[in-house]
A and B are shown apart, each in its own frame.
Chain A
Amino acid sequence: MLTFILRRLLQSIVVMLVVAFVAFLIFRFVGDPVSSMLGQDSTMADHEQLRERLGLNDPFYLQFFRFVANALQGEFGISYRLQQPVTQLILERLPATIELAFASATIALVFGIVLGIYTALRPRSLETAVVMTVSLVGVSLPTFLIGIGLIYVFAVELKMLPSFGRGEVVNLGWWRTGLLTQSGLRSLILPAITLSLFQLTLIMRLVRAEMLEVLRTDYIRFARARGLSKRAINFGHALRNTLVPVITIAGLQLGSVIAFAIITETVFQWPGVGSLFVNSVQVVDVPVMAAYLVFVALVFVVINLIVDILYFLVDPRLRDGAKSGR
């Protein structure tokens, strides 16, 4: 198991280096950092001085090396637009995005698994048909339209929930949370649902397909013959064996949730990392774009690693396979 994880770790580092290289190319060659930092009325001498100070006259590999070294220390330069350190900007907005992502992942997992089991156990019921049809429509709607639709129903017509922002936040050291106030929780509901719908359908369909498959196997029939209770069979034996693919998809989807949060955050004017990225693309704020790319890649790589490790905890067959030197 250790060699497996070490190998995975090495692969992750290679991926991160490649992404860092792309980010560096963007950072270095898109737009001119010197003229973005100096104003219109600067002299050529000012330019040359700044080029020297930023190290833009150094050899290419040295510049890349410095970029990586700075990135490792969490240093991505100054945002052109906001004139603040990029890392600080991202860290300030990170709690909002993480709270949104986890709320939506929780909704997707709970409802996805419950609905998946339900529709698998009653494949011919009316409820199953309704759920499956609704899920099909839900998948084909663009995320931002779902968000707007929810705003229309719950904020405009019913006036039950706020349509934008995070509500009141509480400072816990550097982490500003919206989970502790009533208005913060109410503001979280609509964005979290919007973000979760796609994942929810995916998990539901997956759990359903896996459950239907597992329920046909011999050991389930044997468990029934032994007279085990329905609950023990369905949840103790069947559900457990559907979990490996569910963990994979749910885990990998968590990465794309962070990315899809871009859209949801824009619809609901949620002050997270995603809306920061969209605003940066609009005005070509290169340091923020480069830093966001590295950040998202890091999230993906870390989640992939965690998913790989979770396999071992859930599926004993993999543990034995690894022991005998696969």
Chain B
Amino acid sequence: MTDLPHNSERTAPAKTSRLSAFLNSDLAWSYRHSPVTIIASIVAATLILMAAAAPWIAPYNPFNPATLNLMDGFTPPNSKSMSGNYFLLGSDSQGRDVLSTIMYGSRVSLFVGISATLLAMVMGVGLGLVAGYAGGLADTIIMRVADVQLSFPAILIALLVFGIARGLIPPNQQEGAAVWVLIIAIGLANWAQFARTVRGATMVERQKDYVAAARILGVNPFLILLRHVLPNVMGPVLVIGTIGLALAIIEEATLSYLGVGVPPTQPSLGTLIRIGQQFLFSGEWWILFFPAITLVALALSVNLLGDWLRDALNPRLR
């Protein structure tokens, strides 16, 4: 191991800080040597920052009716409207700045995507740990449910959960609850992948000596799972989580595009694309084009990061 070039520095200085240890790790090495990953991470970071800082850096507030001016409607990109406002990416039918709606829209998309993936992760990892560690009946039930669910497309499950939730929530609260319903629907549609992987990894870890030692010491099984097994199965979970985030963003966009996602008062990238499609035939291409490009860039860059993470954490795959 020590004769590999990227490890030579790690062994040399005695007082390596945590930062330099990280910079010299295999992960950082494979990152520096993959130009595609570097570009993907820059794109993803830019888009995420843009979304997070939208209220402060967006040129307009597209959802404040007081500042909207119908005279600004359908301004082409990089030009001034009749009322003298400048729009870098053009404006839509109501005179909303496309750049600003994209910033606010990616905010919704990312919030839903990240929350849904976290939900799926917590659920899947928890059930996977229990299934893999306990075995027996719990294992059979959890994995059967996961198998059945995995054989259906996630978008179908999400649609069903969404419809059921809509039926259970009283109509006057539906608009406020829409984002949370969406998160639950996408989260429930994606947990099985985590559960399956974590279960497999847990079954391997369970056989190892350190778990046996902890058990002999009389450690509470839940503590064993959380403190000892969980850290050792986190690698694949991170990989699935990253790729799952890309999937969740696309699923959210698809649901919103189908008109069953977030309410129009709080549009995500999918909603913007749905709106933009109406103007495809009349020549206002920018209303559709820029949100679509943003969605593709976001999903693709996160996906590429996931692919890189998978290869970097598990060299045997390549």
- Complex: A282 Cα to B255 Cα, angstroms: 11
**Chain B at the A interface: SS class:** helix
A145–B159 touching, CB < 8 Å: no
Nearest A residue to B257, CB-CB: A144
Set of chain A residues within 8 Å of B285, measured between Cβ atoms: 152
- Complex: A263 Cα to B154 Cα, angstroms: 13
Set of chain B residues within 8 Å of A260, measured between Cβ atoms: 153, 155
Question: Which residues in window 237-294 of B have CB below 8 A to A?
Answer: 246, 250, 253-254, 257-260, 273, 277, 280-281, 285, 288, 292
Q: A156 on the interface (CB 8 Å rule)?
A: yes
B280–A141 touching, CB < 8 Å: no
B-binding segment of A100-108, A170-178, A199-207, A273-281: A273-281
What is the size category of the interface that chain A forms with chain B? 35 or more
Set of chain B residues within 8 Å of A144, measured between Cβ atoms: 253-254, 257-258, 273
B299–A278 touching, CB < 8 Å: no
Set of chain A residues within 8 Å of B148, measured between Cβ atoms: 15, 18
Q: A296 on the interface (CB 8 Å rule)?
A: yes
Q: B303 on the interface (CB 8 Å rule)?
A: yes
Of A15, A156, A263, which one neighbours B258 at CB under 8 angstroms? A263
B292–A148 touching, CB < 8 Å: yes
Digit string of A278-314 for contact with B (CB within 8 Å is 1, else 0)?
Answer: 1011101010010001001000100000000000000
Nearest B residue to A148, CB-CB: B277
Of B156, B163, B257, B295, which one neighbours A280 at CB under 8 angstroms? B163
Digit string of A17-36 for contact with B (CB within 8 Å is 1, else 0)?
Answer: 01000000010001100000
Set of chain A residues within 8 Å of B300, measured between Cβ atoms: 140
A281–B260 touching, CB < 8 Å: yes
Question: Can you list 12 A-B contacts with CB-CB less than 8 angstroms, sorted by A residue number?
Answer: A145-B296, A148-B280, A152-B285, A156-B281, A262-B155, A263-B254, A278-B159, A278-B258, A281-B160, A284-B166, A286-B167, A289-B164
Known: A145-B295, A282-B259. 16 other contacts (CB 8 A): A15-B148, A140-B300, A140-B303, A142-B295, A142-B296, A142-B299, A143-B254, A148-B288, A151-B280, A259-B155, A262-B156, A263-B258, A266-B257, A281-B162, A281-B163, A293-B160
Q: Which residues of A contact B (CB under 8 A)?
A: 15, 18, 26, 30-31, 140-145, 148, 151-152, 156, 163, 252, 255-256, 259-260, 262-263, 266, 277-278, 280-282, 284, 286, 289, 293, 296, 300
